Amino acid sequence: MPDSEPLVSVFLPTYNHENYVEESIESALQQEYENLEIVIGDDCSTDSTWDIVSRYAAEYPETITAFRNEENLGITGNCNEVLRRCSGKYVVFHSGDDILRPGKIRSQVEVLESDPDCALCYHDVEVFDSENGETKFYWNSGPEGTPPVEGDTGTLAEQLVIKGTSFLSAQSIMVRREAIPADGYDERVPIASDWLMWIETCATTDGTVRYIDRPMARYRKHSESITESVQHDIDKFVTLAIVESRYPELCDAVRHRRGYMYYRRAVSDILANENERGRHNLLNSVRYSVYSWKWIGWWVYSWLNQVGLGPTNESNQ
């Protein structure tokens, strides 16, 4: 391995990915970059994922470090076990069901090596349907994409609180190992811990964030993908509480995001005919931030709905 190239760690947690993990590992191995370590953590998969991972680890012992947890640790716990074993100057965030495109790692290394102030580099991501391989949308471009954000890390921390990870896909990130919080992922957030990770990375680092305007990873949408859930929703509110307690400079952004989250929850409640709960969440939304003046319309609609006078086909926010 050339000494002139910095070591890059590919962070790769996996669980029950027997149908996808081979393609995921191959996409990392086929990068046009030699000084690479691929760290794979299997969280006690109940399918043949570990058999596949073990075979690759035996075939590429100088490149792949693989381990299997003694018990299922959950998403955040497994991510921390993988992260602890990443020793590279830079870390690429991958998973057992996604795909890295050729040239991704070298392109990002070149950006980070050319700019010592750059703490984190990311790029566009293709989101595709696992069943037919068709592109659904691009993360940062096209009519359904969210425009990227660049600039100093403080600005990015604020935008991550306000917008969530709508503009920053984990599959796109390469970060300096030294910029990652020493404690890694916060295990008080069992599922959606990556949002807090990127907020803290930016909030505790004095530097810049750069964006590459090319899709250099593919994010797989399939039936086993993590979707919104009650725990996922709880994780978001816990994340905001942690950010508020640790970073006073982000308190205004936290209030704005809370207002948005309560507003979205209220709309969902009212559309489900949970009118009283919806009004309660509308009041919570306004208490933190007037995210949208449409809250007044939803307030009126909830009462009309409750007495049977609301439009039957109302579905737009």
Q: What is the pLDDT of residues 155-164, one digit of tens each?
A: 999 999 999 9
User: 303 falls in which pLDDT band (50, 70, 90)?
Assistant: low
The secondary element (H helix, E strand) that includes residue 112 is helix 104-114
Contacts of 61 (CB under 8 A, 6+ apart): none
Higher pLDDT, 291 or 187: 187
Contacts of 11 (CB under 8 A, 6+ apart): 39, 79, 82, 83, 86, 91, 92, 93, 94
Same domain for 254 and 217, yes or no, is no
Is the pLDDT at 41 greater than 60? The verdict is: yes
Query: Cβ–Cβ contacts within 10 Å for residue 256, how many?
Result: 18
Same domain for 120 and 258, yes or no, is no
Phi, psi of 138 (to 5 degrees): -110, 140
| Residue at 317 is within a domain | no
Same domain for 136 and 190, yes or no, is yes
Number of domains in the chain: 2
| Residue at 88 is within a domain | yes
Average of per-residue pLDDT across 175-198: 96
| Residue at 236 is within a domain | no
CATH number, domain at 35?
3.90.550.10
DSSP assignments along 162-212, one per residue: HHTTTT--GGG-EEEGGGS-TT-S-TTSSSSHHHHHHHHHHHT--SEEEEE
Same domain for 143 and 261, yes or no, is no
Q: Is the pTM of this model over 0.85?
A: yes
The amino acid that residue 284 corresponds to is: N
User: 307 falls in which pLDDT band (50, 70, 90)?
Assistant: low
Same domain for 74 and 148, yes or no, is yes
Domain that holds residue 259: 247-306
Same domain for 176 and 301, yes or no, is no
Same domain for 213 and 252, yes or no, is no
The secondary element (H helix, E strand) that includes residue 55 is helix 49-59
- In our burial notation (b when 16+ CB lie closer than 10 A, e otherwise), range 55-87 reads ebbeeeeebbbbeebeeebebbbbbbbbbebbe
| Residue at 315 is within a domain | no
Same domain for 170 and 259, yes or no, is no
Question: Of 221, 256, 274, which residue sits at a domain end?
Answer: 221
Phi, psi of 96 (to 5 degrees): -75, 0
Mean pLDDT highest for which of 13-17, 220-224, 227-231? 13-17
Is the pLDDT at 315 greater than 60? The verdict is: no
pLDDT at 272: 87
Same domain for 299 and 210, yes or no, is no
Using a pLDDT cut of 90, give the percent of the chain over it: 76
Same domain for 205 and 274, yes or no, is no
Q: Select from 239, 105, 85 the least CA-distant residue to 177.
A: 85
| Residue at 1 is within a domain | no
Same domain for 284 and 137, yes or no, is no
Q: At 37, is the secondary structure helix, strand, or coil?
A: strand
Phi, psi of 190 (to 5 degrees): -70, -25
| Residue at 59 is within a domain | yes
DSSP 147: P
Question: Of 187, 221, 255, which residue sits at a domain end?
Answer: 221
Distance CA 214, CA 204 (A): 27
| Residue at 175 is within a domain | yes
User: 295 falls in which pLDDT band (50, 70, 90)?
Assistant: low
Same domain for 57 and 200, yes or no, is yes
